Amino acid sequence: MDTNGIRKLVTVVEDVHVEGGKEVEPPTRIAAAAAVIANPLAGHYVEDLEPLIDEYCEPLGELLTGRALEALGAPAEGYGKGALVGLDGDVEHGSAIIHNLRFGNKVRDPVSGTTLLPAAEKRAAAGATLDLAIKHITDQTVRSHHQTFEVRIPDAPRADEIVIWVVLAAAGRPHARLGAFGSELAAS
């Protein structure tokens, strides 16, 4: 990928060894990769978002998924995506990139995912947190994989930037113990 427009790349990895006072064996791992990119549409309304889509969708989907997979070091069981738009931008700028099959298929295909990619997006100042939603890659009803992963980059996004995230999980929540989807209704 041409790195014009990318100010920095960030990867965050979390391994949970103990949850609720009980050891997690094996530890669960979540990896998220982000690109802090220039937002050429910041500061003014533009009807046509296609130039933003053309520049960023496929290259970022491929780049960030590759980085997250490498950091995960295991097959992905869960995934998600997010966009944090700087204050001079429009939430629709981030949405144009992540809510697009040209981005989403670059996340789904390498992990053999078939479900809809959950997303989080908002506009905020540098250092804001974003809670990335994660769901199972092939079955959205698998409750153990419904979780969020909080991410933050202290100096991003600047007012004229967007942070695009891809998150992958090697497992569901530690010690997941909820019944199968719909089981609470069957017990009645």
C-alpha radius of gyration, the chain, whole number: 17
CATH superfamily, domain at 6-186: BB2672 (3.30.1330.110)
Against a cut of 0.85, is the pTM above it?
A: yes
Task: Give CA torsion, residues 155, 87, 8, 153, to 10 deg.
Answer: 40
103 is written with which tokens? 């981005």
pLDDT of residue 42: 97
Contact between 181 and 136 (Cβ < 8 Å): no
pLDDT of residue 181: 77
Q: Give me the tens of pLDDT residue by residue for the chain, a chain 188 residues long.
A: 557 789 999 999 999 999 999 999 999 999 999 999 999 999 999 999 999 999 999 999 999 999 999 999 999 999 999 999 999 999 999 999 999 999 999 999 999 999 999 999 999 999 999 999 999 999 988 889 999 999 999 999 999 999 999 999 999 999 888 877 777 777 65
pLDDT of residue 2: 58
Q: Bridge-partner residues for 119, per DSSP? A: 81
pLDDT of residue 151: 98
pLDDT of residue 188: 58
pLDDT of residue 177: 84
